[in-house]
Chains A and B, each alone.
Chain A
Amino acid sequence: MAEPILEVRDLVKHYPLTQGVLFKKQVGAVKAVDGVSFTLEKGETLGIVGESGCGKSTLAKVLMNLERATAGQVLYKGEDISRLSGAALKAVRRNIQMVFQDPYTSLNPRMTVGDIIGEPFEIHPEVAPKGDRRKAVQDLLDVVGLNPEYINRYPHQFSGGQRQRIGIARGLALKPEVIICDEPVSALDVSVQAQVINLLEQLQTEFELSYMFIAHDLSIVRHISDRVGVMYLGRIVEIGTDTEIYDHATHPYTQALLSAVPVPDPTGREGRERIILSGDIPSPANPPSGCRFRTRCWKAEERCATESPLLAAPKLLTGGAKHDSACHFAAEREVAGAAL
């Protein structure tokens, strides 16, 4: 296999909790991302799923260098970019771009669409098209399926789906190789979500993009992803190809998550076996010892409290179940209703 375009090694992001007004004393840390490793191959889509507070959005920010990693490495084509700053960082930014969740807040309301999409060229004049920048912006509008004549309009003159297209055009302007999509469709109407998903897939083929696709909607993630990682409290608990995760999940949390998803099909809802987890997600400032899922897990034993399970393929399992899973008791389980 070729060299991965993006490789993340033991990435950690802690937000210090301080006390005192004048002389701040660190009293703890919110462990938003706590030792995450994965790779992203060229042209691939890696889905990241998890509930709020699992650290998936923080992960995106650290990868984008919007937040400094506390520890660990982010390798872009073999080079660690997590410590870069200044011109070197600016140069790397051309290659990794982001699509945001909320199309209503991710566009500057005081700039025209032309200015918004053209801004990347102003920031990076070295890669800006020579000559007609306006034409380049109009081409981008066309690529994302908007009328090029809309160039002088303001964001508030567009609907949510159209705004998300503008955001995608801005991300595409510098011809990046990696795009990190942070919940790109969750703020959109159901009937518009499919349009945007199709656009993202189309662009991937056209421009050979690699996506990291962060979402909580499991059916959309399955549709678009080649591989899927499941996060819980700052860690990846299970990662594998889409079939491995959706059909052969071995981590109890993944199983619970899959079974809890409301399925848009009423047939057999009475017979559907659902794992209803008790309790809430513990605070990332004070995660449980050992396995972080143990407080809500039905399989938990003493060992789980003392020994943190490693993310590795369980030795005893075979076939689709043999993929990385961070559980001492990893095993497949028939989960009815996970037909996503």
Chain B
Amino acid sequence: MTTAPEKTIAAKDRLVPGTPLLDVRDLHVEFKTRDGVAKAVNGVNYSVAAGETLAVLGESGSGKSVTAQTIMGILDMPPGRVTAGEIMFRGRDMLKMSNEERRKIRGRKIAMIFQDALSSLNPVLSVGYQLGEMFRVHEGASRKEAKAKAIELMDRVRIPAAAQRVNDYPHQFSGGMRQRIMIAMALALEPDLIIADEPTTALDVTVQAQVMDLLAELQAEYHMGLILITHDLGVVADVADKIAVMYAGRIVETAPVHDLYARPAHPYTKGLLRSIPRLDQKGEELYAIKGLPPNLYKVPAGCAFNPRCDVATDLCRTEIPALHQVTDRDGAELAGRKSACHLWKETLHG
């Protein structure tokens, strides 16, 4: 069984890039707390295919993490509750599956990488043990095999001297190395889809670049789908194929990465991009989106962004905008581009 690694890779049907993997449809999640009902997710739709990187961009309270936790099935319920929607994974609705079925998908088919690697790893177990545990639990490997596989995984995420460090404990690794171990754990069972929730936020800039590069490389090798949840416009621009921008529990804009940065079709996206300091603005006042981030207990009527929007009209204050297909000036549909703004035309072309 020492040839196990090759065997599993060979036995596993490799993903074909472009195969649809995940399709979230009209997802609604709310939290019941002492202060009332917080509508964290209000009708989110997005999909990811094999080999594709979807970046979900949003601020705190946008619902980006709650959506991911719902997909993973790790949302605390109560207080959380899914009130509507479907999460289709390879054609089956995960919300209708039994707990047992979902547990089998978790880790094996969909894996997650968290922001804080230190608190996601058990401090009293060696990293080798924790990596090997995946194989013991899911594949019934022996201790020896599990350890061999753990070393192999650590090699794969480029941890130097993996064989010597396999028995070290999480606190003996640096932040960047710990995040690599988290990635190794997520990769262990060669999942179809990886959800990375702010994977590099806690890391330093130079280490951040290393980790993002590693993720991109591994994705190119295994063709898995990647959902990258972040608030950082820079990280998104570096790695994403397409972007879903979230605000107050809704997707306000989706677009291929180049289009979004070049010509945003939603005032919120436009505002975010404008508020990044640019070279030619030195000494000038920065553009700032006015007002405060949304309060989920009191989401404004109509478009949730209207109190902060520069172009809001009466319509925006009363009617929730649908996610419109975006077209160019001649009315031809722009592939993959949608905007939840009544005034998307003006925003895009104006």
Contacts and interface: CB of A to CB of B under 8 A. Distances in A.
A–B contact at 8 Å CB threshold (below) = yes
Interface of A: 51-52, 159-162, 189-195, 197-198, 201-202, 216, 218-220, 222-224, 242, 256-257, 260-267, 269, 274, 276-278, 280-281, 339-340
Nearest to B212: A262
A262 B208 contact: yes
A216 B203 CA distance: 11
A219 B292 contact: no
Q: Interface centre among B233, B271, B273, B293, by most A CB within 10 Å?
A: B293
Contact of B210 (A222, A223, A276): A276
B238 A263 contact: yes
B237 interface: yes
A223 B213 contact: no
B238 A223 contact: no
Given A280-B177, A339-B279, A190 B209 contact: no
18 contacts: A189-B59, A194-B286, A194-B289, A202-B285, A222-B279, A256-B206, A257-B205, A260-B205, A262-B212, A264-B234, A264-B237, A264-B261, A264-B276, A266-B237, A269-B237, A276-B209, A280-B177, A281-B204
A220 B275 CA distance: 10
A280 B279 contact: no
Nearest to A278: B210
B261 A260 contact: no
B275 A51 contact: no
A222 B282 contact: yes
A257 B257 contact: no
Interface string B168-191: 000000111100000000000000
A292 B268 CA distance: 44
Contacts of A159: 292-293
Contacts of A219: 276-278
Interface in B186-245: 204-210, 212-213, 231-238, 240
A239 B244 CA distance: 39
Interface of B is mostly: helix
Interface string B285-310: 11111101100000000000000100
Nearest to A272: B238
Contacts of B257: 266
B174 A280 contact: yes
Nearest to A221: B277
Chain B, interface size: which category?
Answer: 35 or more
Given A191-B293, A220-B277, A276-B213, A51 B238 contact: no
Given A261-B205, A267-B261, A281-B204, A191 B237 contact: no
Contacts of B273: 264
Contacts of A274: 209
B164 interface: no
B60 interface: yes
Contacts of B293: 159, 161, 189, 191-192
Interface in B68-118: none
A197 B286 CA distance: 8
B209 A195 contact: no
Interface in B245-293: 257-258, 261-262, 268, 271-273, 275-279, 281-282, 285-290, 292-293
Contacts of B240: 266
A57 to B, nearest CB: 13
Contact of B275 (A190, A260, A263, A269): A190
Contacts of A189: 59-60, 231, 293
B210 A191 contact: no
A266 B257 CA distance: 7
Contacts of A224: 277
A216 B202 CA distance: 12
B305 to A, nearest CB: 10
Given A223-B286, A262-B237, A280-B177, A191 B276 contact: no
Interface string B148-176: 00000000000000000000000000111
| 4 A-B pairs with the lowest CB-CB distances in the bound complex, closest first | A262-B234, A223-B277, A194-B288, A51-B204
B287 to A, nearest CB: 6
B206 A194 contact: no
B261 A266 contact: yes
Contact of A194 (B59, B234, B237, B287): B287
